Amino acid sequence: MEVLIPHFEGDEVEGLTLATRRQFLPGEELHLLLVENGKPKARQLLQFVAAEIQQRLPIATIEVHSKPSAGRPIDADLVSMFAARAHLVISGLGD
C-alpha cells in the first residue's frame, strides 16, 4: 500500500493557494469522528487512516458512526451534531 502525502513539490502553479494549516496548542487534544457506510472493509480502512492520523496529530478520542445503508445520505441534523462534537470528520467507503 502506498500512502500519498498531499505536499506539492514542483514548479509554482499560478492562481493556486494552499489552505493554511491549523497550529495546535500544547496539550490540545482532538476528537476524530469516522463515518463508515457499512460496506465491506469500510470500518477497517477508516481505522487504518485514523491510526496514521494519530501519528501526526494529537488525537485523544476516535468515534465511529455507522450509516444504516451506503445508499442513504446523512441528514443535516446529524451533520450538525458531527460538527459540534468533532474537530475532524472523515467519511469513507469500502469494497
Confidence class for position 40, pLDDT limits 50, 70, 90:
confident
C-alpha R_g of the chain: 16
Question: CB-based contacts of 19: which residues, under 8 Å, 6+ apart?
Answer: none
Coil, helix or strand at residue 22: coil
Would residue 61 count as lying in a domain?
A: yes
Give the model's pLDDT for residue 52: 93
pLDDT tens for 43-78 read 888 999 999 999 988 999 999 998 888 788 888 899
What is the domain range of residue 52?
A: 30-92
Does pLDDT of 92 surpass 80? no
Q: How many domains does the chain have?
A: 1
pTM to 2 decimal places: 0.70
Would residue 25 count as lying in a domain?
A: no
Query: What number of other Cβ atoms are within 10 A of residue 8's Cβ?
Result: 9
The answer to whether the beta carbons of residues 86 and 32 sit under 8 Å apart is: yes
Does pLDDT of 82 surpass 70? yes
